[in-house]
Structure 1
Amino acid sequence: MKIRVATYNIHKGVSSLRSTPRVVALKNAIKEFCADIVFLQEVQGRHDIKAARYGDPSRAHRHWPEVAQHEFFADDSHHCAYGLNAQYDHGHHGNALLSRFEIDRSHNQDVSDHAYEQRGILHCELMTEIGRIHCYVVHLGLFEAGRVRQTSSLIEAVNKSAGDGEPVIIAGDFNDWRNTLSDRLRKELGVREVFDELNAKPRLGFLVRTLGGRPAPVGPVPARTFPSALPVFQLDRIYVRGFKVESAQVLHGPMWAKLSDHSPIVANLELAP
């Protein structure tokens, strides 16, 4: 069974520079993924101010949907689930999952490390023709100590809900720009990141340690996804267990740079026998 997945931090549906609504363009872009499962972060479940300003039906083109963003993106082609993380007077936002497969159940776990940065892990169980797949939509915090604690919560959640070896996909914005969390996730969950084989590099320069004249290997390097106009930082990831990774790519270019401050990742997977 082959599955195409994508992960994308959509920056609440507005451009990163002028906060111009991009929701309609994002819907069209997400369709271009041709993905069976889409992991979304910073999804606006409600925003009364922007809805009042940009959702006026008297305008020639409505720029803000009447429904929640995840429902707007899902349309009739996907099922959807939403995990509210941050709530404020005029609305709320969080993580979301779009799936061509039936979402049997979903649960959002609050993993906020402090009051000023609300984070969550959205766990969805998908029913496919060959069995259950566990999906976890992740958006970790900006501070390293908090990310370490949130990673512990993620590992505990996966082991508790999918501990019997069922297929797992964990994707989202990890904010792990120094790549300090991947080894722990590989060791404790048996996952691998979709770019593990593609981006493995040897150590260079003064970091080289030789054994028989060969440079000692360094761990795989995730793809660069931020900022989307000129990606430098490795923030977004897709980790899998029980799947063979056929291909993975970051979508670059002027169109993607206008839509969000993050670039999306798309990967083709095949369920391992």
Structure 2
Amino acid sequence: MTIQRPHLRAGTAPTTQFSTRFSSHTFRVGTYNIHKGVRGLGPAKRLEIHNLGLGIEALDADVVCLQEVRLFHALEARQFARSPLGWPAQGQAEFLAPEGYASAYRTNAVTRHGEHGNALLSRWPMGEIGHHDVSDHRFEQRGLLHVPVIWQGMTVHVVVAHFGLIHASRVRQVQRLAEMLDREVPADAPLLVAGDFNDWGEKLDAPMQGLGLQRALSPSGRTADRVTFPSRVPVFALDRVYVRGWRCVSTLVPRGAAWARMSDHLPLVVELEPA
């Protein structure tokens, strides 16, 4: 059974179709690069963090893996202080967590006016939060957020990733990921690595397979179920979920004017079953 949420104008709550059938056997994962909650430049710059909160809640995922999440930014906080809803008083991860969800955040990059990184929102209990710097050079600060999640009595290891802009850097970051997994994740544990891989040429599937990780792809094979960037006319599948110990049941990329407005990426939602 599916429902169609009412159509709303851009700038209001986003719309899409999602299954309303609860299944204790399906684990729904969302991954979303939120572009620090702000869009536009100069006088046209606008705050989207409040709309993003509505969008993330609409995903109805068990866990949501977020990239480019602000902990704070002094300049933008001042700039948007007098906007209708205002800059959130807390960090964006905590602000975006729907009711009943816990949040985990770790910083990847420190900038002149603030810092940003990866976050995980989970409706299930979380274990000890780990963070691993995988920066390949001083011009790009990148990291891995590792959080065990207790789902249906089973420990699922979730890694939120944001890889670099250069292919050689991404290959080295896969190796750093492998080293972290060898140290911290049991070989037989259910695992997923989700995030923005910046893999424009789609060259990372093979090295990730070398780690025992398979890309979660829709059984339908439709390109529309995987491309997420740019959000207005998506043609690149930069946002992905790689899995071990899971079978992909379905994937979904929400679309529409409201989703295109909120970030330069669209979210990707995958539904998984234990393999």
Aligned residues: 249
Q: Which runs of 5+ in 1 are unaligned?
A: 202-220
- Aligned structure 1 segments of 4 or more residues deviating by more than 6 angstroms: none
1:199 aligns with 221
1:225/1:234 contact within 8 Å kept: yes
1:55/1:66 contact within 8 Å kept: no
Identity over the aligned pairs, expressed in percent? Answer: 41
1:193/1:222 contact within 8 Å kept: no
1:138 aligns with 161
**1:233 CA displacement:** 1.6
Q: Which amino acid aligns with 1:191?
A: L
**1:79 CA displacement:** 0.9
Per-residue displacement from partner, 1:32-61 (whole Å, max 9, x unpaired)? 0001100000001101112122234xx6x3
Per-residue displacement from partner, 1:159-206 (whole Å, max 9, x unpaired)? 3222321000110000011111111212x22222121644389xxxxx
User: C-alpha separation between the residues in 2 aligned to 1:6 and 1:65?
Assistant: 23
- Normalised to the residue count of structure 2, the TM-score between the two structures is 0.85
Question: How large is the RMSD of aligned CA atoms in angstroms?
Answer: 1.9
Q: Which amino acid aligns with 1:144?
A: H
Q: Does 1:24 align with 2:50?
A: yes
> What is the aligned counterpart of 1:74 among 97, 102, 122?
97
Q: Does 1:103 align with 2:106?
A: no
1:36 aligns with 62
1:270 aligns with 273
**1:102 CA displacement:** 1.2
User: C-alpha separation between the residues in 2 aligned to 1:89 and 1:193?
Assistant: 36
1:222/1:237 contact within 8 Å kept: no
Q: Which amino acid aligns with 1:120?
A: G
**1:155 CA displacement:** 1.7
Matches within 5 A, 1:1-273: 1-16=25-40, 18-56=44-82, 61-186=84-209, 188-195=210-217, 197-199=219-221, 223-272=226-275
1:55/1:65 contact within 8 Å kept: no
Larger radius of gyration: 1
User: C-alpha separation between the residues in 2 aligned to 1:147 and 1:95?
Assistant: 17
User: C-alpha separation between the residues in 1 aligned to 2:86 and 2:50?
Assistant: 6
**Which deviates more, 65-74 or 153-162?**
153-162
- Normalised to the residue count of structure 1, the TM-score between the two structures is 0.86
1:109 match: secondary structure: strand
User: C-alpha separation between the residues in 1 aligned to 2:256 and 2:205?
Assistant: 27
Q: Which amino acid aligns with 1:176?
A: D
2:250/2:270 contact within 8 Å kept: yes
User: C-alpha separation between the residues in 1 aligned to 2:217 and 2:270?
Assistant: 9
User: C-alpha separation between the residues in 1 aligned to 2:234 and 2:50?
Assistant: 24
1:157 match: secondary structure: helix
**Which deviates more, 30-39 or 70-79?**
70-79
User: C-alpha separation between the residues in 1 aligned to 2:273 and 2:220?
Assistant: 17
2:159 match: secondary structure: strand
Q: Which amino acid aligns with 1:7?
A: T
